[in-house]
Chain A
Amino acid sequence: EAGVAQSPRYKIIEKRQSVAFWCNPISGHATLYWYQQILGQGPKLLIQFQNNGVVDDSQLPKDRFSAERLKGVDSTLKIQPAKLEDSAVYLCASSLGTGVVEQFFGPGTRLTVL
């Protein structure tokens, strides 16, 4: 079974530039999550999708971050414009549903903002 795919793996940009990350979840997984993991900390949920609908985006900085999952499969996360404090690893995860189910994580995209 293929895992969660993410691209790119690494990205270096200057502050005020824009960047986009892509995620393809495990086939058949209805729930998709984007997390931000700052060095030395645990992941923080940015947004959760159930199929193509947003379930929770309470911690997404909506003035600069946006995400979509138009066809209920793959998803993109965008930052525009980026700030220095956005430097982090962005993890995508997917699960079959909600409740006591396992989330499967992708390898992450490491973003460095200079």
Chain B
Amino acid sequence: KNQVEQSPQSLIILEGKNCTLQCNYTVSPFSNLRWYKQDTGRGPVSLTIMTFSENTKSNGRYTATLDADTKQSSLHITASQLSDSASYICVVTPSGEYGNKLVFGAGTILRVKS
């Protein structure tokens, strides 16, 4: 069964600190892995998209890594800001599926404190 597991479920850090969120998946084969940021009361917004052949992708202070051999991905946030408080969702697209069918993780809730 295609699954995406994220850890930790929630995390509290101080403003300015770095943090790393983890994503383990069983989806195989897959065509791409995405990280989304979802602010409270808003829809998810894409941070990064990586194909199976890529192993790192950056978007400002966000850096995603992908190890297709171990089926793990991480999202590293550098110099956190209060506005980084949100849910971060890891999403995997299986290959061979018609129509971009995404497998979503439950998300990691990040809270940045001042």
Contacts and interface: CB of A to CB of B under 8 A. Distances in A.
A106 B43 CA distance: 5
A103 B46 CA distance: 8
A55 B49 contact: no
Nearest to B31: A100
Interface residues of A, number: 27
Contact of A50 (B51, B99, B102, B104): B99
A74 to B, nearest CB: 16
Given A42-B107, A100-B32, A110-B41, 13 more contacts: A4-B43, A31-B100, A40-B106, A42-B104, A56-B101, A95-B100, A99-B31, A100-B31, A102-B49, A103-B100, A106-B43, A107-B41, A107-B43
B45 A105 contact: yes
A110 B40 CA distance: 11
A107 B42 contact: yes
Q: Which of A42, A91, A106 has the most CB of B within 10 A?
A: A42
Nearest to B45: A105
Nearest to A44: B104
Nearest to B46: A102
Contacts of B106: 40-42
A55 B98 contact: yes
A93 interface: yes
Interface string B9-23: 000000000000000
B41 A42 contact: no
15 contacts: A41-B107, A42-B105, A48-B99, A48-B100, A50-B99, A55-B99, A56-B99, A91-B43, A98-B98, A98-B99, A99-B100, A100-B49, A103-B100, A107-B43, A108-B41
Among B4, B44, B93, which residue has the most Cβ atoms of chain A within 10 A? B44
B43 A93 contact: yes
